[in-house]
Structure 1
Amino acid sequence: MQVYTVVVLALDDVIAFDLATPVELLGRARLPDGRPGYRIVVAGPEPEVSAGPLRIAVGAGLDEMARADLVVVPGRNDPALPTPPEVGRALRAAVAKGTRVASICVGAFTLAEVGLLDGLRATTHWLATDELARRHPAVHVDADALFVDNGQILTSAGASAGLDMCLHIVERDYGVAVAADAARLAVAPLQRTGGQGQFILRNRPTHRTATLEKALAWIEENAHRPLTLADIATAAGMSSRTLARHFHAETGQSPIQWLTGVRIRHAQELLEITDHTVDRIAAQVGFPSPSNFRAQFTQIVGVNPGAYRRTFRPSPR
């Protein structure tokens, strides 16, 4: 079996977790004969970079990319920082010669900035998906995916999604058995259920606009009731048409979509902290029936309520 060379790009302000993920997971993957599956090189334009409170020595220069089978681009704490021109040239040259390139978390901003994601489906940390789409409209941003594999270009969501992507790469390179062994070593599942949508608490009450502040606060307090658009409009002191126009302009949602998101968030919180049945929670947060609740929850969050509870509610000791 071939041993692949992986270059992990280290730019100043790198997220230490993102940089360590491919170093540790890929670096510890072992072939059936005991050999390492990957040769790991940390490379960058500078001999040392900052990583939050850390300083990290960089072992090689950008010329290592020319010898790489895979280049991994970690995120930076400030994804708006410009990418050094020589880094962009090296990344584009690597892709041109057929090298795979993968980003972790907001490392997708670096790939997008240098033009490698144009026309492709991509993801990043859920907190940054809207900004990635705004900055780079040619990128088809998937806000729910844990990772996206376009063949030569891969992107992953935040933090532990980098583990998911690296395990996927191991499976792609060496098969399920080697990937499963790497997953056991990392104490991580080989595949996770659902996408990153299950990590998002939707329509938080902190979302405020001057026009909708009264309406949003009223929905937050009354979401458990059987509300109509007319009810919300009356509470906001607007006509239904005016309310719908303001909601669409300022939240991108209709009032009823916003109401559903609030109910889903309330349900997520109850699934995490109570032993209430799913049917009881459906009634508590305002859904007309348990079946409607299950369907809406699964569509919006990406997993069913039971799976969400198993993921986010600690088992009793």
Structure 2
Amino acid sequence: MTGAYVTAGEDYKRDMNYVTTRITADGRDGFAVEPGRYRLVVSRACPWANRAIIVRRLLGLEDVLSMGVAGPTHDARSWTFDLDPDGRDPVLGYERLQEAYFALDPDYPRGITVPAIVDVTTGKLVTNDFDQLTRDLSGEWTAYQREGAPDLFPADLHDEQESVMRRVFTEVNNGVYRCGFAGSQETYEAAYERLWTAMDWLEDRLATRRYLMGERITEADVRLFTTLVRFDPVYHGHFKCNRNKLTEMPNLWAYARDLFQTPGFGDTVDFDHIKAHYYVVHADINPTRIVPAGPSLDNWLEPHGRDGLPTDTWGSGGTAPGPVAEAERVDPAHTPLR
């Protein structure tokens, strides 16, 4: 994501107007699923992009959907490909993700956000709809998913899962931003109350369930994890979500460590990118742009103790993803998973 700012006196409202074109098996929007045709552009700093990275990895789509990684910081114009040796994405040839948006619409009026999928054949943005994007990786790319890929949207859990994901999004994923970008004491306190009501609900829910929906991992876990892994390094202090730390909530902290140590989750997380993004880009919140040295990360590898809960982690016939491709490994200096 990009373009979040404090507006004095106002509640934070996320702009949810995205390019909603879909890539589908039947190509009904003009974009059919096709190996090698599309490029997923992400930043490891962004929680919404982190979702897409995790889902792509869990489903084993690395060989059919390439991934470009933008740097953790950006200016008011766009995410940039400053991690690449010549400052250009090696597939798209772009210096800025903005170029793909303007190739679609030269007058594109909104924020330049990640995740984004770009049509390599034209260089144009196809979609930046982060919610639908991962749903389609699960539901439309089935012909190219790895053997043993988990079903992240099990039919028997559909209604309950949608309800849980809706609450996680409004109250937690977006709730931390509502706290961080509150424009008044009153709006901040209301946002803070909403966030911690939801966090307490999750703490209770996870007392008897290994995962949000019970015995197996679903996309609900992916969506919650990307906020939890950023909570103590960023949201607790930077966004003033400081009733307590994640490490002080026994069930949520054990659950977060459990997922972090699961292939496909922690191996996508770059803590240096996360901290650099929030503390450097959000100059209206952190005008000095000083990036905190802490917290210590080694505790993410401590035993989580959740093995005794009812478990069918990958679902019937499902398996864990294999090792991360060397080209997509997180810098070992940026993660405790060395």
TM-score scaled by structure 1?
0.30
Which structure has more relative contact order (CA 8 Å, sep 6+)? It is 2
Q: Which has the higher helix share?
A: 1
As a proportion of its length, which structure holds more strand? 1
TM value normalised by structure 2: 0.29
